[in-house]
Chains A and B, each alone.
Chain A
Amino acid sequence: MALNHPKAGPNSVPAYIMSGVPYVTQSVSGEVPRCDGGGSPSTLKHSFPFVTKFFQVENLSSTRVLRVGFSDLGVKGSVTNNFIEIAASGKSEVFELRCKEIFLGSVAGTGAARIVAGLTTIQQGEFPILTGSVDGITAFEGVG
């Protein structure tokens, strides 16, 4: 009997219709690096085990703005500003966006964040890398 069952792909509609499997995690204090200014700005990449149906990010810093995006360059704003900003101690909307990883960066110093997501059952290996820079050719606009 064949057991190599077909897997749900990134465009499997039923996987997004179903309610999400809960996923909650948070960083330790100061884990989100500074992503702006001089020196060597960097970001924190968070990978989900499955593709998201929706997610929400909470800024656990009471003094610093948190940036959320879908690529390292997008959050740093190196070329274009492809990030969402969350005010200090604030929460983002619940975004119905599908992705397998998000990038976090803190403005003017290190920060911390909590991520609440609803996951589909689409394995993350089935989903493309969201990036705006593939060999110099834009693959996904609005990502960075």
Chain B
Amino acid sequence: MSLNYPKSGPNDTPQYQMSGVPHITRALAPLKTSDPSDCVKVSFPFVTRNLTITNGGAVSLRVGFSANGAHGGSSNAIVIASGQTVTYSFRCKDLFLMSDNGSTTCACLIVAGLTTIKRTEFPILTGSVVDGASSFEGIG
């Protein structure tokens, strides 16, 4: 008997129709620097169905889907003001966080609804692939 069942892929529509499996995490976004690698990366075990991010810090929070995007060199970051909460129906497997201030870190709460699509099935969202061609616009 074959046991190599087909897996859900990133475009498996029913996965996004179901309510998400809860995933709650907190993170401390580091100081804003000139180095994108200083961003904090939050990885989800499965692909997200939706994201709710609350900025619990005293300064604005930068959220991106790649280190370059969150860092701000390419202007592909969502900026969340202090005390603000945002919700988006985004599918992704990683988030990158950085404070929007060079002298104050920023605490945040991330509540995600997850699908059961394994993160390995989902592509890496990046605007900078090896050959220099942009693969995902609006990511950084």
**A interface, CB within 8 angstroms of B:** 14, 17-26, 48-49, 53-54, 56, 58, 94, 114, 116-119, 121
Contact = CB atoms under 8 A, between A and B. Distances in A.
Contact of A25 (B16, B17, B76): B76
B125 A18 contact: no
Given A19-B89, A22-B88, A25-B137, 15 more contacts: A14-B11, A18-B91, A19-B16, A19-B91, A20-B88, A20-B90, A20-B91, A22-B90, A24-B69, A49-B138, A53-B89, A58-B79, A94-B88, A118-B88, A119-B138
Contacts, number: 73
B49 interface: yes
B49 A19 contact: yes
B13 A22 contact: no
B49 to A, nearest CB: 5
B90 A19 contact: yes
Interface residues of B, number: 28
9 closest residue pairs by CB, A with B: A23-B138, A19-B91, A14-B13, A18-B16, A26-B75, A19-B89, A24-B76, A49-B137, A22-B90
A114 B138 CA distance: 11
B30 interface: no
30 contacts: A17-B13, A17-B16, A18-B11, A18-B15, A19-B50, A20-B88, A20-B91, A22-B90, A22-B91, A22-B92, A22-B125, A22-B139, A23-B137, A23-B138, A24-B64, A24-B65, A24-B69, A24-B75, A24-B78, A24-B138, A25-B75, A25-B76, A25-B138, A49-B137, A56-B88, A94-B87, A94-B88, A114-B79, A119-B138, A121-B11
